[in-house]
Amino acid sequence: MIKFFLMVNKQGQTRLSRYYEHVELHKRTLLEAEVIKNCLSRSKDQCSFIEYKDFKLVYRQYAALFIVVGINETENEMAVYELIHNFVEVLDKYFSRVSELDIMFNLDRVHIILDEMVLNGCIVETNRSRILAPLLVLDKMAET
């Protein structure tokens, strides 16, 4: 099961956070700080899975942006590792060459995309066109 989904940049600023279990606000900031510290301390040739407390972190770096997913032991690390990439591919398709700024200024849209993919900590949809369909409809409605 996926516990949380984070996007944090190298400076430690959170760009997106989604928790699938209720975590209190002040604990979130603490957790995020520790998580990014853990990720930054690792070099490129080290493995992308970290054991942290009683769960595992799977992270992937895209330019200056880290995507970190917290999972419990029932989840398949590699599958989640690829899920991150799938998510980025979807973002890439929607924003056409996504950048950190896109995510900052379209936080709601990124969230909507993520909600289509992951629900209650389960991976529910990975088909790119299906993930984007509801959002594209919304966009079209907004234009008219």
Partner 1 sequence: MKECMVRLIYCEMLGYESSFGYIHAIKLAQQGNLLEKRVGYLAVSLFLHENHELLLLLVNTVVKDLQSTNLVEVCMALTVVSQIFPREMIPAVLPLIEDKLQHSKEIIRRKAVQALYKFYLIAPNQVQHIHDKFRKALCDRDVGVMAASLHIYLQMIKENSSGYKDLTESFVTILKQVVGGKLPIDFNYHSVPAPWLQIQLLRILGLLGKDDPRTSELMYDVLDESLRRAEINHNITYAILFECVQTIYTIHPKPDLLEKAAKCIGKFVLSPKINLKYLGLKALTYVIQQDPNLALQHQMTIIECLDHPDPIIKRETLELLYRITNGQNVTVIVQKMLDYLKQSKEEYTIINLVSKIAELAEKYAPANEWFIQTMNAVFSIGGDVMHPDIPNNFLRLLAEGFDDEKEDEQLRLYAVQSYLGLLEEEDAVYPQKFLQVMSWVLGEYSYIINDEGDPEVIMTRLCKLLKKTFVTSETKAWIMAAITKIASLNRGSKTVDKLIQEFSTSLDTCMRQYAFELKHLCEDKDLMKNLLPRDASCNDMVVDASLSFLDGFVAEGLSRGAAPYKPHHQRQEEKLSQEKALNFEPYGLSLSSSMSSSGFTGRQSPTGLSFGSDVSGNSTEMGQKEMSSLKLDGVKKLWGKDGYLPKKESKTGKEDKLEAVPPGSTLGGNMVDHPLSEADQEVVSPSEEEKEKQQLASTLFVGLASNNAVSLMGKADTTTQKFKRKSKISETQNSEEAPSIQYDATLSFRPLPEAQSNDNENIQSTEHVRLRKSSLSSSEVLEASVSFKRPQSLTEAGLDAKLPDCRLSPSSLFADNNIEVFQPSQVIPSVVASKASLIPSLSEELANNPHSEAVELCSCDTLAVNLCKVWTDDCLLLVLFVANRSSSALKNVNLVFENSEHFKIVEGLSYHFPVIKAQSLESCQKSVQMEKNCMQEILVGSLNYQLEMETGLEFSVTLSLTDFIRPMKITTEDFGKLWLSFSNDVKQNVKMSPSQGSLSIALNTLQQKLKLHVVDIVGNEGLVACQLLPSVPCLLHCRTHAGMLALWLRSPCSALPDSLLYQCQKFQLATRRHARKQIHCHSSP
Q: Name which of 46 and 96 has its Cβ closer to partner 1.
A: 46
- Smallest distance from the beta carbon of 119 to partner 1, in angstroms? 6
CA proximity to 9, closest of 36, 27, 45, 35? 36
N residues, the chain: 144
DSSP secondary structure code for residue 96 in this structure: T
- Positions touching partner 1 (CB under 8 A) are 13-14, 16-18, 22, 25-26, 28-29, 45-54, 76-79, 81-83, 86, 107-108, 111-112, 115, 119-120, 122-130, 133-134, 137-138, 141-142
- Smallest distance from the beta carbon of 40 to partner 1, in angstroms? 15
Q: Name which of 45 and 97 has its Cβ closer to partner 1.
A: 45
Q: Name which of 96 and 120 has its Cβ closer to partner 1.
A: 120
Q: Name which of 92 and 125 has its Cβ closer to partner 1.
A: 125
- Smallest distance from the beta carbon of 123 to partner 1, in angstroms? 5
- Smallest distance from the beta carbon of 134 to partner 1, in angstroms? 6
The pair of structure tokens assigned to 97 is 């060459």
Long-range contacts of 77-84 (CB under 8 A, 24+ apart): 77/49, 79/123, 80/2, 81/48, 81/49, 83/117, 83/118, 83/123, 83/126, 84/58, 84/59, 84/60
The residues, any chain, with a CB within 8 Å of residue 73's CB and separated by 6 or more, are: 55, 56
- Smallest distance from the beta carbon of 100 to partner 1, in angstroms? 14
